Structure 1
């Protein structure tokens, strides 16, 4: 039976007794954070260099079901499966369940609600296109507001941009606190905050522009967000495992 446990922060290992050295659980938590950021940076640089130095492979990277999109699906699937495994093993935790649900929603979005897997036709979308993902709900809201007033439509885009950029900056601040050893409950979830911020920025690009260059940025942002989510699930699962080991050793 899955037992609902009271949410424990990832920062439980930031107790003053552990804050003096980056050892044990805190060092492991920090390792996930560093590796995730390094991987995101490397992927971004590699994609940019490939687009500039080898434009011939750009379509291979960025076209429908290309390398970037496939990698996004793989990392989202890892996040969903990891969250499910952590829940079965350690019981239901709000942070893990939330990450798993976010990953599942985005996985369904990437596979067009399964239409690309099972071959059924998605519903038509108001204003053109198909309702083949949750992001289309934002596009629908934008189009409906645009029919009322162009200003309202751009207000929606501006609010999304401000919230997403603010969340990214907030996450980066929490990451800096982590690096400095001042771990808090919020800084323990920095990867999740950064994931949501990246997804928000990608949706702003999707709604507001038809530029091919910015569409490429959108695809890379979504892949980076998927990487961050997968590492967040792994990080929280590792912390929970370490907590269980510490509890058993203390008996």
Structure 2
């Protein structure tokens, strides 16, 4: 009887953790899907607000900034409460880098002039380093430059597909050590796809897709921080109950 009771007590936190992880994962994907569909419908059927959605500092871009800021602040707060955790530190650093990217390294906040970018434009974000690499490779060989874009596309799309496969396994009750990091994998994959569009395309439609991908990625990162923080909190409760 003692053995059975001990096993049940041990299994309970794992079952609750899997349930909470799956629930938060489903919420994140549902919210991202709803926002994407809403933005697409608004752009198609309400062209009057299209510019409000997609313009510089428009609704989508400001939403991206807010979700990235939430991820950074959330990761910092969780670190203060529970101490350093690698997933939270990684999410916070990624969010901070992308937040700096969205605000042009602060130039749009503080009014200083960014450095000029080789080939035209300004070096006002980390994504411009990829554009710089693409342009420099173009100077050597067009094939090499497009090989870079192709590799980024394959890796990013592959990461998204892999994360979606992990999501399906998660929902089916099968978990691995990657199960708790699906949202982060999706975030990185979507950011990669957005960068491919930024480098290789000049279409206004694809530019809009890029903005939506970045918003989706920011939301996923914020949900990832919530997921990790909540599970840390729940584990702390179970640990105290076990004493």
TM norm. shorter chain > 0.5: yes
- Would you say 1:169 and 2:161 are equivalent positions? yes
What residue is the counterpart of 2:105 in the other structure? Answer: 113
1: CA distance, partners of 2:46 / 2:18: 41
- Matched residue SS, 2:120: coil
What residue is the counterpart of 2:62 in the other structure? Answer: 70
Q: CA deviation at 1:19?
A: 7.8
- Would you say 1:39 and 2:49 are equivalent positions? no
What residue is the counterpart of 1:5 in the other structure? Answer: none
* Structure 1 residues 24-55: Cα deviation after superposition (integer angstroms, max 9, x where no partner): 23222212111110010011101111111111
- Would you say 1:184 and 2:176 are equivalent positions? yes
Preserved CA contact (<8 Å) 1:19 1:181 = no
2: CA distance, partners of 1:22 / 1:57: 46
Task: Choose the corresponding residue for 2:186, options 191, 194, 202.
Answer: 194
2: CA distance, partners of 1:51 / 1:184: 39
- Would you say 1:61 and 2:56 are equivalent positions? no
1: CA distance, partners of 2:59 / 2:40: 14
Structure 1 stretches lacking a partner, 5+ long:
1-14
More contact order relative to length (CA 8 Å, sep ≥ 6): 1
Q: CA deviation at 1:243?
A: 0.7
1:1-251 pair list within 5 angstroms: 24-251=16-243
2: CA distance, partners of 1:207 / 1:17: 53
Could you say which structure has the higher helix fraction? 2
Q: CA RMSD in A?
A: 1.8
- Greater C-alpha radius of gyration: 2
Shift in alpha-carbon separation, 1:216–1:17, aligned structure 2, 3 A: farther
TM-score (norm 2): 0.94
Q: CA deviation at 1:197?
A: 0.1
Aligned length: 237
Shift in alpha-carbon separation, 1:42–1:16, aligned structure 2, 3 A: farther
1: CA distance, partners of 2:178 / 2:21: 13
